[in-house]
Structure 1
Amino acid sequence: MDLLTIGDMAARSGVAQSALRFYEREGLISSTRTGGNQRRYERHELRRIAFIRIAQQVGVSLDEIREALAELPDKRTPTRADWARLSARWQRKLEDRIAMMERLRDQLTGCIGCGCLSLQRCTLVNPSDTLAAKGPGPQRILHAPE
């Protein structure tokens, strides 16, 4: 079996060794140990690490990542069907995040519906703080317009 050292894994994955140890403590990846107690990783862990990195970049929590990875097989390389099943679970969530990021991009310099009434435009965009009825926080960014 072709095993990678923690240094090899860090170099191949682009993740610091400390992050690899953290991922392992969190149960996101696994390693075996040599007689000298050095970590060795199977190559398929590279895919798991890539998945973790991308998921984190788009805002998926570690708990959600852990839950998804728990569905992957431990002792074999995940198949295309395995990855398709995982990505389907997050499709709607990612679409919602994309829409929120587009609203943020388009409205950040104007009123975001925070209820502050401090911008001169707020009297035009959010007169009498009508957005407060929708709940706390930046209503125009958090929620799609009705």
Structure 2
Amino acid sequence: MTIAKELTVGQLSARSGVAVTALHFYEEKGLIRSRRTPGNQRRYPRDTLRRVAFIRVAQRVGIPLRMVGEALATLPEGRAPTREDWERLSSGWRAELDARIEQLVKLRDDLSDCIGCGCLSIDRCVLRNPDDRLGADGSGPRRLLVREAEAGSPRRR
């Protein structure tokens, strides 16, 4: 039994557990690459399975595809990530994950009074914003966002 050096999009989907549409999206974003046959069918190198696994694990822990793409762009052309690559690239995401965890903990702690409350504690609610006083600070749920100054390091929102 010989192992094919290339996979069709259907084979890559079946082996990786990722929908064909998602694979096309990853390719559109430059995360994976294929070649086209004379019949215009996609063929993926076998090591694309490892790249897709890398993408999926990074997504699972909340890393945006933009950052995954930036990480993959640091690898030599066409090479799948190795264990050493994963260690190096994932360590760069640690600060981002720590900031998200901090934000989630703050959200959980701030919302604990709200569970089952039905806004009966509006006078002491940490999320309350009478007269939109926080509107001058910017858009979005200002009290739910951890400010960069509080965290001490820049990060995306």
Q: TM-score, normalised by structure 2?
A: 0.71
Distance 1:60-1:125 versus aligned 2 partners, 3 A rule: same
Q: Counterparts of 1:89 and 1:122 in 2: how far apart (Å)?
A: 41
Partners of 1:100 and 1:72 in 2: how far apart? 31
Distance in 1, Cα, partners of 2:107 & 2:26: 31
Instruction: Report the secondary structure of 1:29's partner residue.
Output: coil
| 1:9 shift after superposition | 0.4
How has the CA–CA distance of structure 1 residues 57 and 80 changed in structure 2, closer, same or farther, with 3 Å as cutoff? Answer: closer
Aligned to 1:124: 124
Q: Which residues of 2 match residues 1-146 of structure 1 at below 5 A?
A: 2-110=5-113, 119-126=119-126, 129=129, 132=134, 135=137, 137-143=140-146
In 2 relative to 1, CA 18–126 (structure 1 residues): closer, same or farther, beyond 3 Å? closer
- Superposed CA deviations along residues 3-38 of structure 1, whole A, max 9, x for unmatched, are 111111001111111111111111110012222221
In structure 2, stretches of 5+ residues that fail to align are 152-157
What RMSD, in angstroms, separates the aligned Cα atoms of the two structures?
3.1
Q: Distance in 1 between matches of 2:19 and 2:85?
A: 27
* 1:4–1:120 CA distance, 2 compared to 1 (3 A): same
Q: How many aligned residue pairs are there? A: 140
Question: What SS does the corresponding residue of 1:82 show, helix, strand or coil?
Answer: helix
Q: Deviations over 1:72-97 (max 9, x none)?
A: 22233322222222111111101111
Q: Provide the C-alpha distance between the structure 2 equivalents of 1:122 and 1:67, rounded to a whole number of angstroms.
A: 44
CA contact (8 A) 2:51 2:81 kept: no
Structure 2 Cα separation of the partners of residues 64 and 42 of structure 1:
23
Identity of aligned residues (%): 48
Query: The residue matched to 1:110 in structure 2 has which SS?
Result: coil
Q: Is the deviation greater in 86-95 or in 72-81?
A: 72-81
* C-alpha distance in 2 between matches for 1:6 and 1:91: 32
Listed as ranges, the gaps of 5+ residues in structure 1 are 112-117
Question: Residues 83-129 of structure 1, C-alpha deviation per residue, up to 9 Å, x if partnerless?
Answer: 22211111110111122223333433535xxxxxx933232244985
Query: More deviation in 94-103 or 133-142?
Result: 133-142
One-letter code aligned to 1:2: K
